[in-house]
Amino acid sequence: MSENVIPAPEVHTIPTAGGGTFPVRRVYCIGRNFAAHAVEMGHDPDREPPFFFQKNPDNLDASGEFPYPPHSTDVHHEIELLVGLKSGGTNIPLDQALDHVWGYGVSLDMTRRDLQGQAKKMGRPWEIGKAFERSGPVGPLIPASDIGHPDQGSVTLLVNGDVRQEGDLNQMIWKVPEMISYLSEYFELKAGDVIMAGTPSGVNAIERGDTMEATIEGVGVLTVKVV
């Protein structure tokens, strides 16, 4: 029997509404999944094939605080539906995709927009803009057995009480079953994988001391202080 030569890293977990924890395996994030957001970022809103990037499991953070990250002066909020999978597979048919969902939550895809912009311009990967420490504030995952599979409902982000982002889950270009099915054609999905489902328009910069209040109707409210 072989032994680890270094201490095994902990499996990262996020809280669930019932008081349990959800172990996170991978974090897939879709880009430009709301037409109005695609337009504000300078892109065509037409339905082209979806694309994904990843954050690291331990970037997800349920502390309620977001430490302003280093090497950026333009950090943006992106409110997103979080989808947690209880099972997976490859080539999952569309009509079976939702059977793999354990639950849903409210999350923020925090972005060092200046570094992401430089990376885009140079044809480089996005991790430096997207996958930094505590870049994914999350609220508790709520089981689908309690709330069903939300496919409509308002998505609202306030900063210090002012509305910054507003949309509706029904405006998502790629729906949750489509994202699961598509991802499973390219990757083997497994229990613990989560998907951040894209953001409506209105992304903007935050500053230290700001309070972000992210609400997805039918899912929950996530309040995060920028420190």
Residues written for the chain: 227
| Minimum CB distance to Mn ion, residue 6 (Å) | 33
Binding mask 149-188 for Mn ion (x = CB under 5 A): ----------------------------------------
| Minimum CB distance to Mn ion, residue 187 (Å) | 18
Rounded distance between C-alpha atoms, residue 198 and residue 30, angstroms: 5
| Minimum CB distance to Mn ion, residue 84 (Å) | 17
Burial of 55 (0-12, 13-18, 19+ CB in 10 A): buried
Q: Of residues 32, 60, 78, 84, which one binds Mn ion by CB under 5 A?
A: 78
Q: Of the ranges 52-60, 102-110, 119-127, 185-193, which one interacts with Mn ion (CB under 5 A)?
A: 102-110
Give the nearer residue to Mn ion in terms of CB position, either 59 or 143: 59
Q: Which of 197, 215, 201, 189 is nearest to 50 (CA)?
A: 197
> Which tokens is 197 given?
């489902």
**Is residue 109 at the binding interface for Mn ion, with CB under 5 A as the rule?**
yes
| Minimum CB distance to Mn ion, residue 197 (Å) | 9
Phi, psi of 127 (to 5 degrees): -50, -40
**DSSP, res 141:** B
Give the nearer residue to Mn ion in terms of CB position, either 92 or 197: 197
| Minimum CB distance to Mn ion, residue 29 (Å) | 5
* Closest residue to Mn ion in the complex (CB): 109
How does DSSP assign 65-76, residue by residue? EEPPPTT-S-EE
Rounded distance between C-alpha atoms, residue 149 and residue 105, angstroms: 11
**Is residue 199 at the binding interface for Mn ion, with CB under 5 A as the rule?**
yes
Residues that bind Mn ion (CB under 5 A): 78, 109, 199
